[in-house]
């Protein structure tokens, strides 16, 4: 398989006046295949969000290159859509308008009718037909995040970047959204990178789990392949030997090899 997205020797330094640079992330090299779902997991402060921001282009790497389909990533762009942790919906636009705004900008060639069809398709993909004319403040946190996902997918990105997408939600809502994401992924194949600190979420959703060592100078510690068949059922998985193996591998990485002391 040809290279789809590759990170080549990424390093991120933050200058500190009067001191040596703070090296947040160093020597991160990774190849991501098309339609692969990977999660990046690590303790807080391991630079996983910094890494995602560099892939999205919102932040520039100090060293190394990020190449998507043979093109160097320079700055943000709609082919790398981001689902932000706090959803980032514009509060003065309705659910429908939030998605419409993005589609209109990225696909200016669409006719009024095509635009409407596309927006409605993605509204219904996340089951929000009933709430499409509501403002973000009038819907629940889980629904907002679904709109965020719909908005990101509606602009047909090559890569979907999710920065702790369900981190701010309660565990039941989180499970519900994970189901949504898996169901959507089955119909619209996508390359997805998820930042998470939730072990179950990482195993349930991913093809590969990237485990980051602790910062400063964080890097990739181990990469775990999750060889579970899809569609995955969270209840049935609990006793699946592969699921248990993956969970244990991540647990031992995070709490034995790279345990983090409370500061």
Work out which of 6, 86, 173, 176 binds another protein, going by CB under 8 A. 86
d(CA 61, CA 25): 9
Nearest alpha-carbon partner for 98 in 38, 148, 31, 160: 148
Could you count the other beta carbons within 10 Å of the beta carbon of residue 17?
4
Question: Are 6 and 67 a contacting pair, CB within 8 Å?
Answer: yes
Work out which of 82, 99, 128, 226 binds another protein, going by CB under 8 A. 82
Question: Are 26 and 219 a contacting pair, CB within 8 Å?
Answer: yes
DSSP secondary structure, 95-118, as one string: HHHHHHHHHHHH-TT--HHHHHHH
Stretch of 25-33, 97-105, 164-172, 252-260 contacting another protein, by CB under 8 A: 97-105
For the CA atoms of the chain, what is the radius of gyration? 19
Nearest alpha-carbon partner for 11 in 58, 81, 66: 66
End-to-end CA distance of the chain: 44
- In the bound state with another protein, the residue whose beta carbon lies nearer, of 131 and 199, is 131
Instruction: Kindly state whether residue 78 participates in binding another protein, applying the rule CB under 8 A.
Output: yes
Q: How far is the CB of 231 from another protein (least distance, A)?
A: 30
Instruction: Kindly state whether residue 84 participates in binding another protein, applying the rule CB under 8 A.
Output: yes
Work out which of 106, 175, 237, 249 binds another protein, going by CB under 8 A. 106
Work out which of 45, 77, 141, 167 binds another protein, going by CB under 8 A. 77
Phi-psi category of residue 67: left, alpha or beta, with phi > 0 → left and psi -120 to 50 → alpha: beta
Instruction: Kindly state whether residue 90 participates in binding another protein, applying the rule CB under 8 A.
Output: yes
Q: How far is the CB of 143 from another protein (least distance, A)?
A: 18
Total site size for another protein, rule CB under 8 A? 22
Binding mask 107-146 for another protein (x = CB under 8 A): ----------------------------x-----------
**What residue ranges bind another protein (CB under 8 A)?**
56-58, 75-78, 80-82, 84, 86, 88, 90-92, 101-102, 105-106, 135, 155
């Amino acid at each position: 398989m040809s290279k789809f997205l590759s990170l080549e020797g990424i390093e991120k330094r933050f200058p500190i006046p009067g001191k040596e640079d703070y090296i947040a992330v160093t020597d991160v090299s990774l190849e991501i295949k098309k339609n692969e779902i990977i999660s990046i997991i690590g303790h807080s402060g391991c630079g996983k969000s910094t890494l995602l921001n560099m892939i999205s282009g919102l932040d520039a790497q100090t060293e190394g290159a990020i190449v998507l389909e043979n093109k160097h990533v320079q700055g943000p762009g709609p082919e790398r859509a981001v689902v932000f942790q706090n959803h980032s919906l514009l509060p003065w636009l309705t659910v429908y308008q939030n998605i419409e705004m993005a589609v209109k900008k990225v696909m200016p060639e669409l006719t009024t009718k095509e635009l409407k069809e596309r927006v409605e398709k993605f509204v219904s993909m996340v089951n929000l037909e009933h709430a499409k004319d509501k403002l973000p403040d009038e819907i629940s946190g889980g629904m907002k995040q679904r709109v965020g996902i719909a908005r990101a997918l509606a602009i047909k990105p090559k890569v979907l970047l999710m920065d702790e997408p369900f981190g701010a939600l309660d565990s039941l809502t989180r499970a519900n959204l994970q189901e949504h994401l898996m169901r959507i992924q089955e119909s619209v194949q996508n390359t997805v990178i998820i930042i998470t600190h939730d072990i179950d979420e990482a195993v349930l959703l991913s093809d590969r789990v990237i485990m980051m060592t602790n910062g400063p100078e964080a890097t990739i510690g181990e990469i775990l392949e999750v060889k579970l068949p899809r569609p995955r059922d969270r209840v049935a998985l609990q006793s699946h030997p592969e699921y248990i193996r993956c969970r244990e591998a991540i647990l031992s990485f995070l709490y034995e090899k790279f345990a983090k002391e409370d500061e």
